[in-house]
Amino acid sequence: MTSPSEWQQRIAGEWHGRPSLFDADGTWRGYEDIRRSSVFADGVTTYYMDGGLEGGGPLAGRFRLGAPFAFGVVDSDADRVYTGPDFFGTGQPYGTFVDAHYYGPGWQVDLNTWNQVLGDDTQVYSSMLYQGPAVVGCFNGVYKRGVSDASLREHLAAETRNGPVPYILPTKQAGAYSGRCELWGADQKLIGPVDVTIALTPIDLLRTRLTVTWSGALDRSYTVDWRRDGFRSFYEGPEAWGNAIAFGRANYATVHCTDVVKITGREFMLDATPGMGAGTELAVAYRIHNGATLAGILHGSLTWISA
């Protein structure tokens, strides 16, 4: 390859973050101070990750780095193949979002990583960590690129404050998260824009009625009662059913509609802060399944508007 792929150009340069580590139950365990870069040179792409874990509790022995990670990448906008030695697997880009599945011998876990690029310098990142089908933990956070020293210090301080904050919807204020997202087919081709609204009507401190509306390239609407129990939550009908677990600001849900559609997704509150306030910007990414078959990927960002 004589020139990098569109995804490779999108993520070029060095990204800085302080993602948090959570155990399988959603309990915050520590921070990972990371510098990541993906370098295309002489037709070859190499991915570098340097940093270390602060804290970690019982997970520390598994996830502390003994040396910086590096691995080769077969660069493509179709299948990005990770060729080791530190990670083996593949990732599929869908515009500004990539869904990657791979194995890390050093961490001894299977990973499903979602990277969502917002604008030119913000990346919403999460890695679900597995032992076979069982969740071991999760890393997630926000990365920045191309910022001044002062802005970087501010960003890392914000990630330190906000990383452990649990995902909680507004409990006494009605309103809606809304924005324009992109729908991509399972063939990784853009289908078109979808206007997404998640309207919230609080019932009490632990329950909220959600009305989800998609319109545009994909039309769908359903209403559910959402109930929170610690880091876990439940979608209890009448028009869809499912559950979720939150790892900090990121809520990972599986929702079954009353037809053949199943939705699995991540909703990440970018600006959630300690205290009782929910975030005003929600980065969303959803896999849409017809039965067990992937039909498409919907992703974008939503902004809170009070009723």
Q: Is the pLDDT of residue 42 over 80?
A: no
**12 and 154, same domain (yes or no):** yes
| Residues whose CB is less than 8 angstroms from the CB of residue 194 and which lie 6 or more positions away in sequence, other chains included | 180, 181, 182, 183, 214, 215, 216, 217, 218, 298, 300
In a domain, 246, yes or no: yes
The 10 Å Cβ neighbour count of residue 159 is 20
What's the distance, CA 48 to chain centroid? 20
* Residue 154: both structure tokens together: 């501010």
Runs of H (alpha helix) within 26-163: 60-63, 149-162
**149 and 185, same domain (yes or no):** no
**24 and 146, same domain (yes or no):** yes
Q: Which of 100, 134, 162 is the last residue of a domain?
A: 162
Question: Across residues 108-124, what is the average pLDDT?
Answer: 96
Q: Which of 162, 193, 208 is the last residue of a domain?
A: 162
CA distance 142 to 123: 6
Q: Which of 96, 131, 162 is the last residue of a domain?
A: 162
Give me the domain span that covers residue 284.
175-306
**189 and 292, same domain (yes or no):** yes
**77 and 46, same domain (yes or no):** yes
pLDDT at 147: 86
**208 and 246, same domain (yes or no):** yes
Tens-digit pLDDT profile for residues 192-249: 999 999 999 999 999 999 999 999 999 999 999 999 999 999 999 999 999 999 999 9
**206 and 272, same domain (yes or no):** yes
In a domain, 113, yes or no: yes
In a domain, 48, yes or no: yes
Q: Let me know: does 41 contact 58? Beta carbons within 8 Å.
A: no
In a domain, 170, yes or no: no
pTM for the model stands at 0.95
In a domain, 250, yes or no: yes
**197 and 149, same domain (yes or no):** no
pLDDT at 1: 57
- CATH number of the CATH domain containing 190: 2.40.128.20
pLDDT at 109: 97
In a domain, 226, yes or no: yes
In a domain, 90, yes or no: yes
**153 and 219, same domain (yes or no):** no
The count of domains in the chain is 2
* Residue 120: both structure tokens together: 């030119």
In a domain, 167, yes or no: no
DSSP state of 286: E
DSSP state of 59: G
pLDDT at 175: 97
Q: Let me know: does 283 contact 275? Beta carbons within 8 Å.
A: no
